Amino acid sequence: MSIDFEKFSKYSKPGPRYTSYPTALEFSDKFAYERYLELLGNNNKPLSLYVHLPFCRSACYFCGCNVVFTSKQEKLSRYVEYLKKELALLKNYLDTSKEVVQFHFGGGTPTFYSPYELDIIMSEIKNIFPNFAKDAEISVEIDPRFFTKEHMQTFSKHGFNRVSFGVQDFNPKVQEAVHRIQPFEITKKAVDIAREAGIESVNIDLIYGLPYQSLQTFKDTLQKALLLNPDRVAVFNYAHVPWLKKTMRKFDETTLPSPAEKLAIFKHTIDTFKKNGYKMIGMDHFAKPEDELFGAIAKGELHRNFQGYTTKGGAHLVGIGLTSIGEGERYYAQNTKDMKRYEALIDNGKLPYERGVELNDDDFIRKQVIMELMANFALDIKRLERELKINFFDYFKADLPKLDEFINEGLVNLDKERLQVSETGTLLIRNIAMAFDAYMQKYLGNKKSFSKTV
């Protein structure tokens, strides 16, 4: 790819990451609790469970997650008791005997918990949800700074088969700026612990766009990441939203790389992983060719949700814990972000649901199109027409002209049967997907709606 990065910088504008459609900005309490319970219970799909463990000892300034900073063990233990209560309530509204095909611990820092307490949580989850599939994907996000062999023993006991290590960047100056000192040796030791325990799927998370990063410094980070021989790598575009996250205000914005530099970094990242035997999946993931994600792509079953790309797209995602998000075929539902309200709702016998959105027919159609683009960089128009019972060109008559600039630049090719994003166009997939977003119009000109696409 020969790219004029300065020219492409014009595409740097606020836009969604499309972990959902409609996006979280459309979530509200108009989606009533009673209606949520009805949809939660009337779903015959297998289950995917996401459990949020929100606690961290200190802030990583780049982090956009919903976290609670504490050093008090009693707060962590109290939360475990409320998780148990929430799980018991779920059993009243959901058939918890259905097969669980996917489970994920997110955070926060799940391994901030002791191995003993993680064992308690997993034992209770399996008590409430006893039917884990034999080939279930069971995964956890790990901060290498808080990870021991004892943690891994607990995960092995409960059948965990995927681990994801947060790295972000190996450069000491960048680490100091983002308040996360994590030498390469600490990460390597954590990966070694997982490998020695028989984990065959190791993911590493990197972020580009952080303070003091440059193409040259990130080249070094990529080489160190390759030394760890991960099976998957997620390389995220840093979402700078200081109006939402106070810790991001600590950054000197003049130290953030420019859009052109970020594009150069990501283009080099793509080239580096391809040269080392990895293939690109969606807009920010890479994996070895034997990874099951590629089988899902071939079958048209690759799915994107709040945990990234997954093969379990047909599952009913149930969010458990503070701020967790669930996803049914026609809804998204988010638990409250406030700990006091979380506890109060559970004490009153209610699930800690706070807001969400029920998809209308137009939402559902656009979701299929946008998620297909985000996963495969292409649309099989004839298949979509059959499955959605629409005429693609009639339905999106008002939206397709928004693709003209990408078509004229050679970034998108569109004919009667297929929309195909070019290799260079993949760098701008969020911009391209925005053409099909019915809600974007009301956010035009609002710089504090989404992070920048580039």
DSSP letter string, 320-338: ESTT-EEEETTEEEEE-S-
Whether residue 62 lies inside any domain: the answer is yes
Q: What is the pLDDT of residue 12?
A: 77
Instruction: Give the domain-ending residue among 261, 292, 320.
Output: 320
Whether residue 222 lies inside any domain: the answer is yes
Model confidence at 1: pLDDT above 60: no
Whether residue 330 lies inside any domain: the answer is no
β-sheet with 316-320: strand ranges across = 279-281, 285-287, 232-237, 201-208, 162-168, 132-142, 100-107, 47-53, 316-320, 325-328, 331-335, 353-358
Q: What is the pLDDT of residue 300?
A: 66
Q: Give exposure, 61-93, as e/b (b: 16+ Cβ within 10 Å).
A: bbbeebbbebeeeeebeebeebbbebbebbeee
Question: Using CA atoms, how far apart are residues 48 and 325, in angstroms rounded to an integer?
Answer: 12
- Beta 201-208 vs 232-237: how paired, if at all? parallel
- Average pLDDT in the chain: 92
Domain span at residue 41 reads 20-320
Q: What is the pLDDT of residue 3?
A: 62
Q: What is the pLDDT of residue 450?
A: 78
176-182 mean pLDDT: 96
Q: What is the pLDDT of residue 395?
A: 98
CATH number at residue 406: 1.10.10.920
Q: What is the pLDDT of residue 5?
A: 67
pTM: 0.92
CA distance to 20, 129, 131, 294, per residue, from 102 (Å): 18, 12, 11, 18
Beta strands in 249-320 (DSSP E): 279-281, 285-287, 303-305, 308-310, 316-320
276-297 mean pLDDT: 85
Helix (H, G, I), strand (E, B) or coil at 358: strand
Q: Give exposure, 119-144, as e/b (b: 16+ Cβ within 10 Å).
A: bbbbeebeebbeebeeebbbbbbbbb
- The answer for residues whose C-beta is within 8 angstroms of residue 318's C-beta and 6 or more apart is 40, 47, 48, 49, 50, 90, 94, 326
Q: Are residues 315 and 397 in the same domain?
A: no
Confidence of residue 293 (pLDDT cuts 50, 70, 90): confident
Whether residue 355 lies inside any domain: the answer is no
Q: Are residues 190 and 250 in the same domain?
A: yes
Flag the least confident range among 36-40, 153-157, 419-423: 419-423
Q: Give exposure, 26-42, as e/b (b: 16+ Cβ within 10 Å).
A: bbeeebebeebbebbee
Whether residue 176 lies inside any domain: the answer is yes
Q: Are residues 382 and 269 in the same domain?
A: no
Model confidence at 295: pLDDT above 80: no
Q: What is the pLDDT of residue 447?
A: 65
Q: Are residues 286 and 428 in the same domain?
A: no
Question: Using CA atoms, how far apart are residues 323 and 191, in angstroms rounded to an integer?
Answer: 29
Per residue in 195-215, pLDDT tens? 999 999 999 999 999 999 999
Q: What is the pLDDT of residue 326?
A: 95
Confidence of residue 14 (pLDDT cuts 50, 70, 90): confident
Q: What is the pLDDT of residue 448?
A: 66
Q: Are residues 148 and 278 in the same domain?
A: yes
Q: What is the pLDDT of residue 305?
A: 72
Q: Are residues 135 and 252 in the same domain?
A: yes
Q: Are residues 272 and 140 in the same domain?
A: yes
Question: Using CA atoms, how far apart are residues 226 and 80, in angstroms rounded to an integer?
Answer: 37
Q: Are residues 177 and 303 in the same domain?
A: yes
Whether residue 253 lies inside any domain: the answer is yes
Instruction: Give the domain-ending residue among 320, 336, 370.
Output: 320
Instruction: Please tell me the total count of domains within the chain.
Output: 2
Model confidence at 2: pLDDT above 60: no
Confidence of residue 314 (pLDDT cuts 50, 70, 90): confident
CATH number at residue 121: 3.80.30.20
Q: Are residues 151 and 67 in the same domain?
A: yes
Q: Are residues 268 and 365 in the same domain?
A: no
Q: Are residues 376 and 296 in the same domain?
A: no
Q: What is the pLDDT of residue 196?
A: 97
Q: Are residues 123 and 246 in the same domain?
A: yes
Model confidence at 299: pLDDT above 80: no
Whether residue 173 lies inside any domain: the answer is yes
Per residue in 379-389, pLDDT tens? 999 999 999 99
Flag the least confident range among 136-145, 273-282, 397-406: 273-282
Whether residue 452 lies inside any domain: the answer is yes
Higher per-residue pLDDT: 454 or 390: 390
